[in-house]
Every structure is written in C-alpha cells, then in structure tokens.
C-alpha cells in the first residue's frame, strides 16, 4: 500500500532541535534587572565620613559603596 501523506501534522511545528534549543536556553534566561527602591537610615557623622573616605579610595560613591559593602557582607556571611 502506498504511503499516505499525514495532513494532521502542523507544518510550523518546532523541530526536535528547536524544541531542545528552546528548553536549554530557557534555563539560561537573563535575570531581569530590578528597579532600585529608595531607603534611608541614620548614621553617626564621623562614621559616615570614615566610610565615605574608604569608598572614595575604591572609586565608589556613597550609595554604590553601601551596596558593595552589603553584598560583600552577604557573601562572607553565607560562606
């Protein structure tokens, strides 16, 4: 008997490699960059000056320095 064309298969269906590629690269999707929230806290002026000086030596401003220091703290604390 002659082979009959299967008309139910959708022509635009993803190939096996396309499915595999989508699955694989979905795992590596970029994390969306979050918007920052504004936060305030009080600090002793002398301590603030001390920190500002240290951040300036590292080439960081006040906010960037605080963020950097906190990230480093989290890393160390988790270790």
Partner 1 sequence: MSKTISFHLQKGGIGKTTISGTLACQSALEGHTTLLIDVDPQGNASSWFCKSELKWELADVLQGFCFFTDAIVEITKVPNLFLLPTFGIGGSLKKYAETKIADEPYVLQDLVHELVTSFDRIILDLSPGLGKLERSALIASDEIITPMTPEVFSLDGLEIFIDELEKIRKNLRSSVRHEKIIINSFDGRIRQHKEIYEAAMSGSFEVFKIPVDPAFRKSQERNIAPQLFKYRGRGLKPNTLRAIEKINDKIWR
Core vs surface per residue 59-74: b (16+ CB within 10 A) or e = ebeeeebbeeeeeeee
Q: What is the DSSP letter of 30?
A: P
Chosen residue from 5, 9, 13, 26 binding partner 1 by CB under 8 A? 26
Does 75 engage in binding with partner 1 (CB under 8 A)?
A: no
The nearer residue to partner 1, 19 or 49, going by C-beta atoms, is 19
Listed ranges 27-35, 38-46, 47-55, 58-66: which one lies at the site for partner 1 (CB under 8 A): 27-35
Chosen residue from 8, 29, 40, 46 binding partner 1 by CB under 8 A? 29
Q: Tell me how far, at minimum, the Cβ of 72 lies from partner 1, in Å.
A: 15
Task: In whole angstroms, give the CA distance from residue 65 to residue 62.
Answer: 5
Q: Are 65 and 55 in contact (CB under 8 A)?
A: yes
């Amino acid at each position: 008997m002659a082979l009959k064309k299967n008309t139910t298969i959708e022509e635009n269906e993803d190939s096996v490699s396309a499915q595999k590629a989508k699955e694989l690269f979905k795992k590596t999707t970029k994390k969306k960059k979050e918007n920052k929230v504004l936060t305030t806290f009080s600090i002793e002026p002398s301590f603030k000056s001390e920190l500002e000086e240290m951040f300036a030596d590292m080439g960081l401003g006040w906010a960037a320095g605080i963020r950097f220091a906190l990230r480093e703290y989290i890393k160390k604390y988790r270790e």
